[in-house]
Amino acid sequence: MIDIKLIRTNPELVRENIKKKFQFDKLPLVDEAAALDSQWRASHARCDSLRNQRNVISKKIGALMAKGQRDEAEAAKAEVKAMAEEMEALALREAELEEEIRKRMLVIPNIIDASVPVGRDDSENVERARFGEPKLPAFEIPYHTDIMERLSGLDLDNARKTSGNGFYFLTGDVARLHSALITYARDFMIERGFTYCVPPFMIRSNVVTGVMSFKEMENMMYKIEGEDLYLIGTSEHSMIGRFIDAFLEEDKLPLTLTSYSPCFRKEVGAHGIEERGVYRVHQFEKQEMIVVCRPEESMAWYEKLWMYTVDFFRSLDIPVRTLECCSGDLADLKVKSVDVEAWSPRQGKYFEVGSCSNLGDAQARRLGIRVKNKEKGNYFAHTLNNTVVAPPRTLIAFLENNLEADGTVRIPEALAMYMGGKRSIG
């Protein structure tokens, strides 16, 4: 959510930003928010004026009574009462206006960084860099579910019976490998100075609307029937929500956190659930990075975060590339975002395994996350998030890139200790 002051002082910038995101239907919201804000300020100014007048008149009432000017005092009391009634009506009107303004401000997209490439959708995202040499082995790489099933590690049929499409059972060495990737990711981030957290897996609606846009919420979140609770789609939701209405100590920033959670997603939209595989599913686990920092530090942290993911995948001998999200592919709260994609030797192309985002002060403004500063005044923090690892997608990339011709799967040195010292499974 942007600052209303930006609409007051530079509405054209807000409009241009909406155009860059190709959300032309949202252009009227700028004028609507400006008009409502103008009414609110007029009401607020009138209320302040009445309050001052009331205070002046109230002081005179005692003097008039002391002089025996009862009629004049009673007239002054009536005037004060009328002012109080008008102020009460104005306060109610201001609350209504604030709610209408907020509705619009929650939908107007955040101002994207000037470096973000302009494009309509993910087809116009821009490759930035590649890390590691993509390899195409001399033997055929089976589909990922076939690899898992040959390792006696996947059961989709019975998962459909218990839960439906988009769910799965992992067993044996494949299940252990899944857990090993998560545990290694946890330690990988702890070694880089991040504090490990396990957050709540459900959050209230005010946190949901604080951390994401309405469109994302509708497409992603599962609501608990009869409760003001939603299942999280990523631990970022709980982790940022943890600081709702907080005043953070400036000298304690940045807060660098790495969190584990299961994640639940409806996956509504064009992609849908792939019945055969486990690339797009309703339930998965993830190790996440979260940073809460000063505004002037957020872009430096953005560059660090996505590089941590690159380093993690390279330690597993998985080639990756970074793909910068264009303006039309950015969620409304994001200032800048980059996807990390892993190489798929089976497909001969890259696929998404993580995403790093700088949200500026959008989440902090929605949730009231402020930083204390006596000299300059309190200000909103900046928040960032990034995926370290999210099986089963990471599991797919790992299996394809470490599969040997005989059907066994090589375990890189970095992961061996998490697999009981095994250097291969099969």
Instruction: Specify the CATH architecture of the domain 122-425.
Output: 2-Layer Sandwich (3.30)
For the beta sheet containing 202-203, the strands, ordered from the edge strand earlier in sequence to the opposite edge, are 202-203, 230-231, 222-223
Token readout for 29 is 């919201």
Per DSSP bridges, beta strands 202-203 and 169-170 are unpaired
At residue 402, φ and ψ (nearest 5 deg) are -115, 10
pLDDT digit string, tens, across residues 71-112: 888 898 999 999 999 999 999 999 999 999 999 999 999 999
Q: State the chain's mean pLDDT as an integer.
A: 95
pLDDT digit string, tens, across residues 82-93: 999 999 999 999
- Can you name the residues that pair with 262 across neighbouring β-strands? 285
pLDDT for 269: 58
pLDDT digit string, tens, across residues 319-365: 999 999 999 999 999 999 999 999 999 999 999 999 999 999 999 99
Token readout for 272 is 């849908």
| Domain locations along the chain | 4-105, 122-425
Q: What is the CATH number assigned to the segment(s) 4-105? A: 1.10.287.40
pLDDT for 272: 60
How many angstroms separate the CA atoms of 368 and 362, rounded? 10
122-425 matches 4-105 in CATH topology: no
| Side chain identity at residue 259, one-letter code | S
Which among 104, 107, 108, 96 is positioned nearest to 40, based on CA atoms? 96
How many angstroms separate the CA atoms of 142 and 149, rounded? 11
Token readout for 299 is 């872009």
Please return the burial class of 193, using the count of CB atoms within 10 Å of its CB with bins 0-12, 13-18 and 19+. exposed
Which among 138, 157, 139 is positioned nearest to 148, based on CA atoms? 157
> Contact, 241 vs 292, CB < 8 A?
no
How many angstroms separate the CA atoms of 370 and 414, rounded? 39
Q: Which residue has the tokens 């002060």?
A: 361
pLDDT digit string, tens, across residues 146-188: 999 999 999 999 999 999 999 999 999 999 999 999 999 999 9
Task: Say if residue 268's pLDDT is above 70.
Answer: no
| Three-class DSSP category at 275 | coil
Please return the burial class of 33, using the count of CB atoms within 10 Å of its CB with bins 0-12, 13-18 and 19+. buried
pLDDT for 219: 82
Which among 269, 359, 328, 332 is positioned nearest to 126, based on CA atoms? 328
At residue 163, φ and ψ (nearest 5 deg) are -135, -20
pLDDT digit string, tens, across residues 199-256: 999 999 999 999 988 778 888 899 999 999 999 999 999 999 999 999 999 999 999 9
